[in-house]
Amino acid sequence: MNKEFEREWLLALEKRFGVEATIAQITLENQPRMLIYYFQDFPAKGMLTAVTAGLSSASHPDWQYGKPELCFALNTSDSKWGTAAAYLAQVFFNQKPFGYESSFAMQQPMSGDSAMNACFVHRPAFLNNEQIKFELKDRTIFLAGLFPMYPEEISLYESQGFQNFWDTPGFDPYNPRRANLALQG
C-alpha cells in the first residue's frame, strides 16, 4: 500500500476528529495490507472509533464519485472491532462496493465483548454528509460507518429496511451489547 496515502489519510482523520490515532495492521494471505486507525474516547468519552486504511485502494464499478473506508464507532474498548472492519475490507477487496444499507456477516463474533457477528453499512452517525467526504491528493474517500447486528437481526433488517430497523425501540448504534431486536416481543 502507498505510504504517502496512509500518512495523508491518517492526518486528514486526525484533523477532522481532533484526536490522535494509534495504528495497527492486518494482512490476510493474498490480500493487500490493511491499516486500522484507532481513536480513543471519540466521538465521546468511553467510545472507540476504528477506521480502515486501504479499502480505498481497491476498485469497484459502483465507485464513481469516491471510494469508501470503513469505521466502527462504539461504546467499547475492544480493538477487535477494528480488526473486524479491516477483515471485511480485505475479504471483499475489489468485490463489494460497501454501499449504504448493505449487510455483512462473519462466522464468529466480531469482538470479545459482543455476540454480534454481522453489520450493516451507513453514514457514521457522528458525522454529517459533508464531514464524511475527504479530498486527498490521489482519491476522494467517503467514510462508511459499520453498525453491528446479531445474526438473527439480518432478516429483520432486510425485511424492514434501514430506517425502520434504525427506529426500532432498543436499537442503539453505539452499543455492541444491546438486546437482540429479533428476540424481542
Q: Look up residue 51 and give its amino acid.
A: V
Assess if residue 177 is contained within a domain. no
Residue 182 lies in a domain: no
At residue 185, the pLDDT reads 59
Q: Containing domain of residue 106, as a range? A: 3-170
Asked, for residue 178, whether it belongs to a domain, the answer is no
Helix (H/G/I), strand (E/B), else coil: 83? helix
For residue 62, is it within any domain? yes
| pTM of the model as a whole | 0.95
d(CA 174, CA 75): 6
Query: What is the dihedral sign for C-alpha 41, 82, 24, 66?
Result: negative
Q: Does a structural domain hold residue 185? A: no
Q: What are 32-79's pLDDT values in tens digits?
A: 889 999 999 999 999 999 999 999 999 999 999 999 999 999 999 999
Sign for the CA dihedral angle at 37, 147, 65, 29 comes to positive
Q: Which set of grid coordinates corresponds to residue 7?
A: 500518512
Counting the structural domains of the chain, the total is 1
Tell me whether residue 181 is in a domain. Answer: no
Please report whether residue 183 resides in a domain. Answer: no
Averaged pLDDT, 112-128: 95
Alpha carbons within 13 angstroms on the beta-carbon side of residue 50 total 27
Is residue 171 within 8 A of residue 147, CB to CB? The reply is no
